[in-house]
């Protein structure tokens, strides 16, 4: 949450920062601002609303500078407003700072500062931390770097901080714990950002800053230190990303682009790993650790949001194929209770960003208890990728739309391959079944492409139901988590209340909601549950509910019971969730668009949840 950008070098800083903020706006868009340092003159501009409003506000303002920092906010402490927007300035006006994260003990520090004569112009924890740094610097007559180091030893919480000082007109000081920071290395210049999207246009050489590290960044120098003031050698990584991946490419919205990218992103996920002709899966993270994985006492899957739904699908698949007990936990709940984790347990952590705060804390706890950590993430170099013993990237590419689409199907593809690899090594699946599922998985990109060619049908359905106040999504077996995901997507993108349920559980309460005004979406593909779910459709129809069904090609029964239906290609029931989710993504997208909502930036949400 929150996007941060910094630049120091020969270029004009403001255009670089502004473009970077636009690319990071998916991380938060309640307010934005910039601090620009021209020699010793520090100019700070900030505005409630999206980055475009800041850009308009700055027309005619003095934005001359070769160094600066910028921030786009997802509000935590203090409502969205001009005064709560970042950057914040210190009481003496000499420091400016931006911050992504939460300082948990800010109230205690604020009380101390008030006793020492400080007053505050915002409601934020960030302004408290900044004035604490200023207070330490003034009272100890020390450098800003040393003051920051002392301050960070006192604070608890998560942070990624960029600081500039009027007395040091070419230097940005940065620090991180729990919130991401990447530094791009150019020729006589450096770029700082929450992720690589603002940097890729200028350089592909980057350094990922680790927790408890400080960076002193000048145009021609990058120094990394730990909180003990020991110098660390930066590890330079080359970005595997193209600029076109973070541009809309002619689509109206990033969300639509990312939905339509799924044939290629799933193919990229499978490529080099799955060889259906040879009957092999090659995944180094699995193969090198196959003994821990196949002999696991149990597997615990930790995730949040859409990734949690991917974990539910994986639970069904792993237990079916590998015969290992699986538990799926919300990372936000796991970390606050006292779970039983033992050596021999395997933790699979699923996260698009690889920076999800609750998941990271939960992993640290499980790792301390001796569990083996396997990460499934999209972002290369992310914190979860680095904390894991092993893992697999989804290779979905940058996902800019706040609601996850292609990252989810990439997660399902990776988890399916992991399960198949463990199962064949463990001997819990026949060679015939293994070969069949390899071929089925190999055919997924082509089948997704076929679904997308009929996307206009979903647009028609969305138009018909855009004014509904509630939706019910129902599925069974492997498609039950997809019903949950469909409901979540509709809530996120259209602001329509929606609930997902196992279809059989409908009679244990939700059926009381059914009347002629309630659209009920059935994920009703031809599988071992089909006869049962048809019975559930009959029950809804008898109560005059509006039925929308996702069915398999050739199904002649479900259409007769449905007010609207959408047909997908035939697939094995273990593979079907990767297909059935696509129409639900499109349904939510077209519903949001029909209601005039900014589907890339739905209210109150942010892409990467790096605060608790």
Q: Do 3-245 and 452-612 have matching folds?
A: no
**Which pLDDT score, from 0 to 100, does residue 610 have?**
46
- DSSP string computed for 163-208: EEETTEEEEEEEEEEBS--EEEE-SS-EEEESSSTTTTTT-SEEEE
Residue spans of the domains in the chain: they are 3-245, 248-442, 452-612
**Which pLDDT score, from 0 to 100, does residue 609 have?**
52
* Helix, strand, coil share (%) of the chain residues, nearest 5: 40, 25, 35
Stretches where the chain sits below pLDDT 70 are: 1, 241-247, 606-612
**Which pLDDT score, from 0 to 100, does residue 1 have?**
64
Question: Which residue among the candidates 177, 294, 546, 607 is catalytic per the annotation?
Answer: 607
**Which pLDDT score, from 0 to 100, does residue 323 have?**
97
Determine whether 269 is an active site residue: no
Write out the CATH class of domain 3-245.
alpha beta
Tokens of 21: 């903020």
Q: Is it true that domain 452-612 has CATH number 3.40.50.10490?
A: yes
Q: Which fold has domain 248-442?
A: Rossmann fold (3.40.50)
**Which pLDDT score, from 0 to 100, does residue 276 have?**
93
**Which pLDDT score, from 0 to 100, does residue 279 have?**
94
Q: Do residues 182 and 26 lie in contact, with contact meaning Cβ atoms separated by under 8 Å?
A: no
Reading phi first (left if > 0) and then psi (alpha if -120 to 50, else beta), residue 458 is in alpha
**Which pLDDT score, from 0 to 100, does residue 246 have?**
64
Tokens of 294: 């196949």
Determine whether 607 is an active site residue: yes
Question: Which residue among the candidates 2, 160, 269, 304 is catalytic per the annotation?
Answer: 2
**Which pLDDT score, from 0 to 100, does residue 340 have?**
85
> In sequence order, which residues have a C-beta less than 8 Å from that of residue 229 and are 6 or more positions away?
146, 149
């Amino acid at each position: 949450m929150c996007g941060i950008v910094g630049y120091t070098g020969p270029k004009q800083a403001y255009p670089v920062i502004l473009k970077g903020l636009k690319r990071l706006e998916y991380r938060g868009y309640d307010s934005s601002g910039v601090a620009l340092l021209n020699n010793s003159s520090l100019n700070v501009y900030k505005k409630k609303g999206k980055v475009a409003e800041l850009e308009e506000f700055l027309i005619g303002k003095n934005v001359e500078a070769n160094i600066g920092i910028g921030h786009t906010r997802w509000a935590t402490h203090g409502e969205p407003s001009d005064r709560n927007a970042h950057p914040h300035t210190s009481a003496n006006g000499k420091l400016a700072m931006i911050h992504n994260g939460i300082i948990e003990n800010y109230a205690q520090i604020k009380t101390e500062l008030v006793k020492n004569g400080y007053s505050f112009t915002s409601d934020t924890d960030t302004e408290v931390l900044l004035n604490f740094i200023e207070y330490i610097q003034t009272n100890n007559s020390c450098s800003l770097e040393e003051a920051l180091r002392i301050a960070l030893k006192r604070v608890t919480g998560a942070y990624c901080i960029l600081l500039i000082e009027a007395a040091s007109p070419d230097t940005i000081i940065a620090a991180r714990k729990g919130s991401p920071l990447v530094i791009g290395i150019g020729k006589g210049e450096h770029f700082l950002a929450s992720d690589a999207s603002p940097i890729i246009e200028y350089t592909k050489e980057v350094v990922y800053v680790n927790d408890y590290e400080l960076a002193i960044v000048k145009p021609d120098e990058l120094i990394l230190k730990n909180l003990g003031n020991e110098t660390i050698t930066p590890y330079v990584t080359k970005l595997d990303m193209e600029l076109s991946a973070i541009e809309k490419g002619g689509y109206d919205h990033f969300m639509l682009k990312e939905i339509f990218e799924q044939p290629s992103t799933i193919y990229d996920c499978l490529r080099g790993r799955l060889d259906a002709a040879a009957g092999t899966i090659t995944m180094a993270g699995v193969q090198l650790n196959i003994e821990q994985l196949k002999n696991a006492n149990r597997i615990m899957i930790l995730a949040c949001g859409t990734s949690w739904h991917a974990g539910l699908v994986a639970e069904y698949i792993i237990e079916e194929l590998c015969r290992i007990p699986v538990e799926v936990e919300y990372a936000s709940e796991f970390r606050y209770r006292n779970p039983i984790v033992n050596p021999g347990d395997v933790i699979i952590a699923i996260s698009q960003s690889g920076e999800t705060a609750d998941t990271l804390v939960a992993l640290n706890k499980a790792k301390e208890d001796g569990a083996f950590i396997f990460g499934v993430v999209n972002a290369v170099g992310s914190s979860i990728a680095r904390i894991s013993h092993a893992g697999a990237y989804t290779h979905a590419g940058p996902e800019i739309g706040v609601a996850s689409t292609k990252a989810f199907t990439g997660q399902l593809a990776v988890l399916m391959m992991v399960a198949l690899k463990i199962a064949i090594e463990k001997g819990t699946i026949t060679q015939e079944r293994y070969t069949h599922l390899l071929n089925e998985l190999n055919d997924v990109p082509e089948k997704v492409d076929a679904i997308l060619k009929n996307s206009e049908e979903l647009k028609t359905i969305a138009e018909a139901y855009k004014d509904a106040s509630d939706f019910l999504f129902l599925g069974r077996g492997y498609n039950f988590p997809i019903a949950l995901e469909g409901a979540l997507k509709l809530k996120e993108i259209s602001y329509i209340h929606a609930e997902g349920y196992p279809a059989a559980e409908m009679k244990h309460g939700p059926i009381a909601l059914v009347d002629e005004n309630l659209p009920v979406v059935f994920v009703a593909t031809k599988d071992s549950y089909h006869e049962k779910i048809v019975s559930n459709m009959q029950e809804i129809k008898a109560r005059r509910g509006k039925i929308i069904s996702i069915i398999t090609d050739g199904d002649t029964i479900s259409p007769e019971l449905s007010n609207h239906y959408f047909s997908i290609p035939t697939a094995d029931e273990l593979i079907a969730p990767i297909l059935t989710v696509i129409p639900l993504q499109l349904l939510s997208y077209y519903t949001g668009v029909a209601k005039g909502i900014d589907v890339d930036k739905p209210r109150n949400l942010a892409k990467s949840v790096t605060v608790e």
